[in-house]
Every structure is written in structure tokens, then in C-alpha cells.
């Protein structure tokens, strides 16, 4: 969880500092400001998304430091939903193929988190409560 938090916050900072670098990493071709049409809100949307990523990254880091298991459990279905939406965006042609990495990252993160929670739950359930760690 902490690793995901750090990566999310770092990518959010990249988007705030260098939006073109973030666009390139997701498979979009950056456009010089002079070529942007009036009413093109790409940079505004990218700024909002990047700030959300910074916030989300901090939430994950703080939840990790607090070992907040309910938060970890909540992330699994929502990350799977995010994986589905982002993957469908690529499949339907709404986003470039490079964007598939975002969906796969979310799906893999959900599966790893779910597996870790399941493993920890089984380990805790099989250990008598009076046995020291």
C-alpha cells in the first residue's frame, strides 16, 4: 500500500510539474500550447487529476502507516472497477493503447492487495490468539 501511495503521489507531482511528460508516459502525444484550440481543457483536467493522485497517494501512505485494514479492503473492488473502466477505454478506442498500463496497474494492485489480505487473514485465523508473534 505504501509503495502504491508513493508512486501515485510521485506521478501526481510529475503531472503538476511536467504535464507533457505524464501525457507521454500514458501514450498521448503532447501538444504545444500554441496549437491548442480555444476551449481545450486538457491541461486543466490533467492538473485536477494530478492533484487527486497526490492526495490519493498520501491517503494510501497514511493508511499504510496506520495499518488500516478496512481501507485496504475497500481499495480492492474500487481498483478493479478502475481497471475495468480504463481497459474498456482502450478497447473501445477512447484512449490509446499506452493507457492500458494504467488499467493493468490498477488490476494488478487490486489482486496483490486482495491476495495479501486473504493470506494475512488465513495466517491470523490459524494462529492461536495467545501465541506470541
Task: Give the residue extent of every domain in the chain.
Answer: 1-66, 68-133
Do residues 65 and 34 touch, judged by C-beta distance below 8 A? no
Query: pLDDT (tens digit, 9 = 90+) per residue, 79-116?
Result: 999 999 999 999 999 988 888 988 998 999 999 999 99
DSSP, collapsed to helix, strand or coil, labels residue 12 as helix
Quick: pLDDT tens for 18-69: 999 988 887 788 888 778 788 878 888 899 999 999 999 999 999 999 999 9
In the chain, the N- to C-terminal Cα span, in Å, equals 22
Amino acid at each position: 500500500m505504501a509503495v502504491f501511495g508513493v508512486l501515485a503521489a510521485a506521478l501526481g507531482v510529475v503531472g503538476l510539474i511536467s504535464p507533457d511528460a505524464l501525457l507521454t508516459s500514458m501514450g498521448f502525444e503532447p501538444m504545444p500550447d500554441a496549437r491548442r484550440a480555444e476551449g481545450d481543457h486538457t491541461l486543466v483536467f490533467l492538473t485536477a487529476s494530478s492533484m487527486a493522485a497526490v492526495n490519493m497517494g498520501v491517503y494510501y501512505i497514511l493508511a499504510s502507516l496506520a495499518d488500516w485494514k478496512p481501507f485496504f479492503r475497500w481499495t480492492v473492488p474500487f481498483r478493479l472497477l478502475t481497471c475495468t473502466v480504463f481497459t474498456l477505454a482502450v478497447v473501445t478506442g477512447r484512449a490509446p493503447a499506452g493507457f492500458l498500463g494504467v488499467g493493468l496497474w490498477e488490476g494488478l494492485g487490486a489482486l496483490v492487495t486482495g491476495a495479501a489480505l486473504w493470506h494475512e487473514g488465513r495466517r491470523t485465523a490459524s494462529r492461536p490468539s495467545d501465541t506470541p508473534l
